[in-house]
Amino acid sequence: MQIIIANDQHIQYAQEICHTIDESAKQRGTGIAKRTPEYITTKIQNGNAVIALEGDKFAGFCYIETWGHGKYVANSGLIVHPDFRGQGLGRKIKKKVFQHSREKFPDAKIFGITTGLPVMKINYDLGYEPVTFSELTDDPSFWNGCKTCKNFDILTRNEGKMCLCTGMLYDPAVKKHKHKHKYDSKVFTRLKNIKQSLFLKKEKKKQDK
């Protein structure tokens, strides 16, 4: 398996990457910001993406976005093809894109928003901390990306302060990135369940009216 910084040779995979992201979102039934093949192509051309290939078969992908004039960087669109899941590939891709982000944008804060427990675990192990949305970028173009997510009205109703996603941040200015506690799956699972019952119940009541 190769995990490399994507280049022009990999533009041919843009369509398949988008398709795999869309299909996974449908299956999980959770919201996700929509990506177009053109957008993925730009990321590849700018050297801001990591691709995993098994021979010439697409196995996984993730890309870098910059916000707030480079003060913030997000590692987004992590996807592992269903044939390669549960074998540690997601963790390896995330590590590679994280290292690439640190080299290319050493002073930027690295953040992500996700509902995915595997991603929360990987981020936590890389030194990210869960934070409120107010600690993330206030660049409207980042939050506009949420408009294509099916939960966007929950974010709007909460005035952009909360949603089903959990915000996580790696701040390079913080000297120590070793957590006092090991990742506790119960804490993150409980947080996710609380949010879901809180926000989705309200949503259902509104629909029933």
Ligand X SMILES: CC(C)(COP(=O)(O)OP(=O)(O)OC[C@H]1O[C@@H](n2cnc3c(N)ncnc32)[C@H](O)[C@@H]1OP(=O)(O)O)[C@@H](O)C(=O)NCCC(=O)NCCS
Check residue 151 for interaction with ligand X (CB under 6 A).
no
User: What is the nearest approach in angstroms of ligand X to the Cβ of residue 191?
Assistant: 12
Instruction: Choose which of 49, 97, 122, 155 interacts with ligand X (CB under 6 A).
Output: 122
How long, in residues, is the chain?
A: 209
Q: Which of residues 89-118 bind ligand X (CB under 6 A)?
A: 89-91, 114, 116-118
Q: What mask, x for binding ligand X by CB under 6 A, covers residues 49 to 88? A: -----------------------------xxx----xxxx
Q: What mask, x for binding ligand X by CB under 6 A, covers residues 173 to 192? A: ------------x-------
Check residue 169 for interaction with ligand X (CB under 6 A).
no
SS3 128: coil
Nearest to ligand X of 15, 206 (CB atom) = 15
If residue 170 lies in a helix (H) or strand (E), which one and from where to where? Answer: strand 166-170
Nearest to ligand X of 167, 199 (CB atom) = 167
What secondary structure does DSSP assign to 39-107, as a single string?
HHHHHHHTT-EEEEEETTEEEEEEEEEEETTTTEEEEEEEEE-GGGTTSSHHHHHHHHHHHHHHHHSTT
Q: How far apart are CA 157 and CA 209, in angstroms?
A: 17
User: What is the nearest approach in angstroms of ligand X to the Cβ of residue 152?
Assistant: 16
Q: How far apart are CA 12 and CA 170, in angstroms?
A: 32
User: What is the nearest approach in angstroms of ligand X to the Cβ of residue 144?
Assistant: 18
Q: Is residue 100 exposed (0-12), middle (13-18) or buried (19+ Cβ within 10 Å)?
A: buried
User: What is the nearest approach in angstroms of ligand X to the Cβ of residue 46?
Assistant: 21
User: Which spans of this chain sit near ligand X (rule: CB under 6 A)?
Assistant: 24, 78-80, 85-91, 114, 116-119, 121-122, 185
